[in-house]
């Protein structure tokens, strides 16, 4: 009857983590509106939400200062996590490019549609089309005979 069901292992969620991100096990939300997260190990407050916290934990230099108190285990964990994220990002961009190429390359769908429309139009005024066709065939027949004659001579 109590809140503890034991189904979902929630180790230390005093401040509700906004997502099921592994980094929330190592930091707490200070100000969600301003995307401020506090590192559990060195108590440094990072702005830029959970991604900054991951960079901080992984010790990736550049955007954020690396954590000085995090264990090597956790640091490696987040190093790998960020690497995986980056490769998956690259995969996504490659996929997007493929999809773009797919979309731009075969305009078959539109061609098929226009063909369908044309056939529908043909069905609509079939008689007229037939009349025109017969006229054209007569003309082309005449042309053909002339050209045939020209070719022969």
List the structure tokens of 87. 């490769």
Among 21, 41, 51, 75, binds Zn ion (CB under 5 A): 41
Q: Is 46 in the site for Zn ion (CB under 5 A)?
A: no
Among 29, 37, 39, 53, binds Zn ion (CB under 5 A): 39
- Smallest gap from Cβ 69 to Zn ion, in A, equals 6
- Smallest gap from Cβ 16 to Zn ion, in A, equals 21
Residue list 102-131, contact with Zn ion (CB under 5 A)? none
Angle at the Cα of 138 from the Cα atoms of 132 and 141, rounded to 5 degrees: 135
Q: Is 51 in the site for Zn ion (CB under 5 A)?
A: no
Which of 71/91 has CB closer to Zn ion? 71
The count of residues interacting with Zn ion (CB under 5 A) is 4
Q: Is 42 in the site for Zn ion (CB under 5 A)?
A: yes
Instruction: Name the residues that contact Zn ion, by CB under 5 A.
Output: 39, 41-42, 67
């Amino acid at each position: 009857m109590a809140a503890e069901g034991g189904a979902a292992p929630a180790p230390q969620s005093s401040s509700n983590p906004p997502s099921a991100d592994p980094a929330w096990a190592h930091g707490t939300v200070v100000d969600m509106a301003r995307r401020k997260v506090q590192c559990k190990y060195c108590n440094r407050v990072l702005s830029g939400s959970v991604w900054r916290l991951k960079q901080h934990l992984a010790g990736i230099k550049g955007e954020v200062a690396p954590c000085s108190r995090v264990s090597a285990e956790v640091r490696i964990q987040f190093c790998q996590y960020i690497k995986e994220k980056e490769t998956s990002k690259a995969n996504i961009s490659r996929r997007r490019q493929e999809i773009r190429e797919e979309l731009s390359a075969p305009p078959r769908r539109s061609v098929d549609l226009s063909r369908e429309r044309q056939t529908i139009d043909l069905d609509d005024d079939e008689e007229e089309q037939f009349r025109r066709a017969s006229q054209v065939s007569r003309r082309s027949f005449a042309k053909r005979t002339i050209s045939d004659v020209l070719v022969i001579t």
